[in-house]
Amino acid sequence: MNIEQLSYVVEVANSKSLLKAANNLHVTESAISQAIKRLEDELNVKIFNRTQAGFVPTERGREVVNKAIHALQAIDHIRLEASKQMITPRNCLRISTITELTNHINDIMYHHYKKNPSLNIEVTEQSSQDTVRDLRNDLFDIGFIVFNRKKLDLLNEFDFTPIHQGKFNLLTSNTFQFGHNIKVNLVQFKNEKFVLYKDPDIQELMNEFQTVFGPINIIFKTKNIKLIERSILDYGAFTIGHSLFPFYSQSPILKKSHHLDLGNFLDTSFQFGWIKKKEHTLSREANLFIKKINVVLSEFTPVQ
């Protein structure tokens, strides 16, 4: 049992819909369904019945939902008290970012500190979904996320400043021979060996694809870029990456890889950008630091 499972149960009980709950929580329906199934198996309790009115808690399920609500309220209270005790003066900038941007931020932070030692900077790596959640709880001042454009309406409570836009591509070794194929896409190569970066957006994309076109030969999923590189080199494996991957990953192997269109059967568009609460203002020094990052980001053109 974990916090994520409890939050899924409460959201489904409130919305009576997996789809609405998934949209509200910025995750996939599959993720919610699997998490609730694991919780039911752990507790040996059927929590929901699927009816014409939607997902309705069973008699014992209502007890689980009520206790989940109380547990989440207690956790939120603990987080709020902890955030109040955090020392966050005007000269401290708390950034939450996707892993791929960390190297660039660290380089800029090092040079910035030599000229502006008064600004203390804290950088945390995590997924875009976690960044959105923690910004809501005031655990960070600003975040850098990647987000599918069709989900941008879910960020209405925030200021979102896009920096780059692009799409997810099919990546493989530059030694791979495509014969006479001029235009290729994922459908043609779904039986090849795939190694996937463990990312919610990539997982959602693959789930949508496999629902329509059947299973893909996925060897493994990992957050280890080096392992993905070795698989591409040694096994001729394919992977999925965004068109900014050569810049954000700083991987010489991935920079030289083929970037192929996934086809027009799915919306693979996305945006990279900064997100913060509308009412939250940054200090002058913090804004200057963010501008320095944006200058570096503006020098890169995504792969088309």
Q: What is the mean pLDDT of residues 66-77?
A: 87
Q: How large is the average pLDDT for residues 210-229?
A: 86
Residue 294 has pLDDT above 80, yes or no: yes
Which residue has better confidence, 146 or 16?
A: 16
Q: How many other CB atoms are there within 10 angstroms of residue 54's CB atom? A: 16
Answer yes or no: is 252 within a domain. Answer: yes
Q: Which residue has the higher pLDDT, 234 or 140?
A: 140
Any domain includes 205: yes
Last residue of a domain, one of 63, 85, 107: 85
Residue 84 has pLDDT above 60, yes or no: no
What is the reported pLDDT for 248?
A: 60
Structural domain contains residue 304: no
Q: Are residues 39 and 108 in the same domain?
A: no
* CA dihedral (169, 170, 175, 180) positive or negative: negative
What CATH number is associated with residue 31? 1.10.10.10
Give the mean model confidence (pLDDT) for residues 25-52. Answer: 88
Mark whether 78 and 111 lie in a shared domain. Answer: no
Q: Residue 251 — pLDDT band, cuts 50, 70, 90?
A: low
Do 242 and 212 sit in the same domain of this protein? yes
User: Which residue, 42, 67, 85, sits at the end of a domain?
Assistant: 85
In a domain, 201, yes or no: yes
Question: Is residue 240 domain-shared with residue 220, that is, in the same domain?
Answer: yes
Which token pair is 173?
Answer: 């070794």
Evaluate whether residue 100 is within a structural domain.
yes
For residues 189 and 208, state if they share a domain.
yes
- Position 143 scores a pLDDT of 94
What lies within 8 Å, CB to CB, of 293 at 6+ separation is: 104, 105, 108
- Among the three residues 67, 85, 103, which one is the final residue of a domain in this structure? 85
What are the contacts of 266-269 at 24+ separation with CB within 8 A? 266/205, 266/208, 266/209, 267/148, 267/149, 267/150, 268/167, 268/168, 268/169, 268/205, 269/148, 269/149, 269/150, 269/165, 269/166, 269/167
Domain carrying residue 118:
92-157+273-298
As a whole number of angstroms, the distance between CA 202 and CA 204 comes to: 5
HEC letters along 85-134: HCCCCCCEEEEEECHHHHHHHHHHHHHHHHHCCCCEEEEEECCHHHHHHH
**How confident is the model at residue 85, as a pLDDT?**
47
Is the pLDDT assigned to residue 232 strictly greater than 90? no
pLDDT for the residue numbered 170: 80
Q: Is residue 253 part of a domain?
A: yes
> Is the same domain home to 144 and 203?
no
Task: Indicate whether 300 pLDDT > 90.
Answer: no
Angle at 170 between CA 229 and CA 211, to 5 degrees: 115
User: Running DSSP on this structure, what letter comes out for residue 249?
Assistant: H
Residue-level pLDDT at 182: 46
34 and 174 share a domain? Answer: no
For residue 260, the model assigns a pLDDT of 66
Q: Dig out the tokens for 253 from the structure.
A: 């192997």
Same domain, 280 and 265: no
Judged by DSSP in three states, 239 sits in: strand
Question: What mean pLDDT is predicted for residues 265-279?
Answer: 82
Question: Residues 18, 81: one domain?
Answer: yes
Q: Quick check: is 175 in a domain? A: yes
One domain for residues 153 and 226? no
Calpha distance 230→236 (Å, rounded): 9
Quick: pLDDT tens for 85-117: 444 455 788 999 887 777 778 888 888 777 777
Say which residues have a Cβ less than 8 Å from residue 115's Cβ, sequence separation at least 6. none
Question: Per-residue pLDDT tens for 159-210?
Answer: 999 888 877 778 887 777 665 454 556 778 888 899 998 877 788 888 888 8
User: Picking from 61-70, 80-89, 164-173, 227-236, which range would have the lowest pLDDT averaged per residue?
Assistant: 80-89
The number of folded domains in the chain is 3
Judge if 184 and 242 occupy the same domain: yes
In a domain, 303, yes or no: no
The domain that contains 178 carries what CATH number? Answer: 3.40.190.10
Answer yes or no: do 53 and 125 share one domain: no
